[in-house]
Structure 1
């Protein structure tokens, strides 16, 4: 009696995707290590900490570092929820196809819209934020024109890397991760060994930050350094069709992104806090750039330049990973015929195995935002204010969809399952996410005009409002024939039991 040989892993992946209604054009060239590196470089602890350290220390003092632990636990809950979803629906595009399967077409359209806008704005904020670092590294003045020019160059390099295909993207992500983790360990280690001015007790001393009021308000504001740090793990799932055995490997990569990325960010922040000689000066506002102060004192001009080059690699890797995520989301939109321009967004390069027009979109829109800063730096600040909030909003729309689906009978059936803990983790993830968004949108500038004080919430309302108008005027989503709403069992579809 003859027996058929078991299907190879790549054949299993093809069959699973086919069962979900798709035939992938991507090549599964991204190793588990590269998939993790993509999430890590998107999270980019060096970029996040260096960008927000001065604000956080001045606002909340050294205890702000505890926000990394609090936010890390909260985002791990979100990552665990995402892990169950991507294991069952390993489809390119991340939050959009997940929301589509868990809830439906209209809800998925809005989820994808919010997240895509947030990603495009975040790409602009990363490359624009790199401008002053590039100027400092190469001895230029950080004028508006120079910042714009350097940002556009960095964006062009990131786009070129993405156009070279999954294999090159994977190698670039690993290089970026390696450079960033070595830089974090070397810089942090040297600061702790040779330039430490305080002991660990300083982490419990606010140095008067927050004034005479309740310190918890100051801590909540300073905690934004942690809130803005812990996303990027979802990028591991955005490229689900480029990873072999995604149902098992992507959940691992997501968790590792949280563990290792969070540990690296906390380590860098700890080293900087203990190495700032005059913390009261930072809180008082007389030292507005404590990172540069510490690096120049500890490494000298030459050493500081070397560190800046590592930071630039981190910025490039972060922009590259963000572009990869945004392009896969746009491609997924196009493939399902969900938005104007779908005929272009769904096009695929047979030689490079990438969606070229989706990548172009992920380059042109951020470039236009950066160029717009020439007209108004204040305007770009307002636009960028939506970036992190929009990503969190996209996350929580998926978390909410998952909770609704569970309550309607969805039982995750992928290779990763939380079992009896699934509902509790899902609820806790939603509570955390909503709390974080309230903290991000909370008005903290009473002296500013009301529209500036509420800019984060207002920008989110504008993005959602534009999306709703578009859905009414151009309702392509209602005509999309791709599978949707199939996570929730119906009378015609018996409830699936978990896979043993």
Structure 2
């Protein structure tokens, strides 16, 4: 495959070197986006270094897989069940959705005005009082970088826990130890890095596979749990606030349980950090942020209500040797180790894809902040070599 050479124009846009033939002009248009994209980059004072491969559907799919809200709703079911009970889990999920949606709308509006991979720290530099712009932007930039690095570790450890549950489910003598999760997390991290480097050109194919599995996995869990599991009383489920950890007050325990829905819904800014890889970003980005939020909130809420309505006896599911409450709920419903293993494996694989997408987002955040010289070794970190090749 022949690679087209690219040079930087004075305005910060890319242009081909040599013959200005029609084919090369198409290459530039394909990878640099629309005229509005180029004007946005020029207005923001940034140089286009990344391909604009994403469109509306692909970026919404990316966000859905990264968010993995129904998967995370299953994983954190134990936190909410112990701290607040079923009613606490359901109502706090709605409260967190309500609050985070207004944050999402604000991000969408700022993304429309400044579609840059820097995201929050760039917006802070624009809207903070002039005398605080630099320091506030610098602090927020570090918080975003560290936050996404932590999010990567959380996603990978959550995926590792599902593999541990899968082993415990099929080998009754297996005992889960902390170092098992650490080693599995490292393996998943290496796999996610391979997806984002060696297999980066195939990433869109894997994203498509993950999105299909994400959809069908949700349907499978809905069918299994609603058809096979015992039903809890609707009134009790929505009104039974519990303190199962000795806080002494169900209300206080419920507030502690807010960690569950927050973990489930965090990461709504993920697509903002891919704005420089999104075609027609100023139009597509704000809409994709809002649509992604609505889809993720909906799937997460439905799964939260489902797992709380079909959980069965609380003490039984909490004593599971798999370390995952939902796994015990599923095996109680199906009475099948094989069927439960398939559903658990689906969650594990989807969280591996979630980890891969977390690496994608975190790397863009890291690149953007380094480009603005916010990190040590910024010049080295922000160096990007992208062959603008046709095809």
**SS of residue in 1 equivalent to 2:387:** coil
Cross-structure match for 2:260: 225
Q: Kindly tell me: are residues 143 and 219 of structure 1, through their superposed partners in 2, closer, same or farther at Cα, counting changes over 3 Å?
A: closer
Contact 1:29 1:166 in 2 (8 A): no
> Which residue, out of 342, 350, 354, partners 2:378?
342
Contact 2:65 2:354 in 1 (8 A): yes
Are 1:302 and 2:338 matched, yes or no?
yes
User: Matched residues in 1 for 2:96 and 2:254: separation?
Assistant: 13
TM-score by length of 2: 0.81
User: Matched residues in 2 for 1:84 and 1:166: separation?
Assistant: 30
Deviation at 1:309, TM superposition (A): 1.8
**SS of residue in 2 equivalent to 1:229:** helix
Cross-structure match for 1:53: 77
User: Matched residues in 2 for 1:303 and 1:148: separation?
Assistant: 27
Cross-structure match for 2:236: 202
Contact 1:334 1:346 in 2 (8 A): yes
Q: Which runs of no fewer than 5 residues in structure 1 stay unpaired?
A: 1-6, 354-500
Aligned-residue Cα RMSD (Å) equals 2.6
Q: Kindly tell me: are residues 106 and 230 of structure 1, through their superposed partners in 2, closer, same or farther at Cα, counting changes over 3 Å?
A: same
Q: Which runs of no fewer than 5 residues in structure 2 stay unpaired?
A: 1-28
User: Matched residues in 2 for 1:94 and 1:164: separation?
Assistant: 27
Cross-structure match for 2:97: 72
Are 1:260 and 2:295 matched, yes or no?
yes
Contact 1:93 1:238 in 2 (8 A): yes
Listed as ranges, the matches of 1:32-431 within 5 Å are: 32-63=56-87, 64-103=89-128, 104-137=133-166, 141=174, 142-164=176-198, 168-206=202-240, 208-209=242-243, 214-279=249-314, 286=319, 289-299=324-334, 300-351=336-387
User: Matched residues in 1 for 2:273 and 2:79: separation?
Assistant: 31
Q: Kindly tell me: are residues 134 and 19 of structure 1, through their superposed partners in 2, closer, same or farther at Cα, counting changes over 3 Å?
A: same
Deviation at 1:237, TM superposition (A): 0.6
**SS of residue in 2 equivalent to 1:338:** coil
Q: Kindly tell me: are residues 209 and 136 of structure 1, through their superposed partners in 2, closer, same or farther at Cα, counting changes over 3 Å?
A: closer
Deviation at 1:80, TM superposition (A): 0.5
Larger RCO, structure (CA 8 Å, separation 6 or more): 2
**SS of residue in 2 equivalent to 1:228:** helix
**SS of residue in 2 equivalent to 1:239:** helix
TM-score by length of 1: 0.64
Are 1:24 and 2:58 matched, yes or no?
no
Deviation at 1:121, TM superposition (A): 1.7
Q: Kindly tell me: are residues 196 and 246 of structure 1, through their superposed partners in 2, closer, same or farther at Cα, counting changes over 3 Å?
A: farther
Q: Mean alpha-carbon deviation: is it higher for 253-262 or for 214-223?
A: 214-223
Q: Mean alpha-carbon deviation: is it higher for 313-322 or for 211-220?
A: 211-220
Number of matched residues?
345
CA deviation map 1:168-199 (0-9, x unaligned): 43443343233123212211232112223224
Cross-structure match for 1:402: none
Deviation at 1:214, TM superposition (A): 4.6
User: Matched residues in 2 for 1:260 and 1:30: separation?
Assistant: 19
User: Matched residues in 2 for 1:153 and 1:125: separation?
Assistant: 14
Cross-structure match for 1:384: none
User: Matched residues in 1 for 2:351 and 2:327: separation?
Assistant: 17
User: Matched residues in 2 for 1:137 and 1:34: separation?
Assistant: 31
Contact 2:159 2:349 in 1 (8 A): no
Deviation at 1:245, TM superposition (A): 1.3
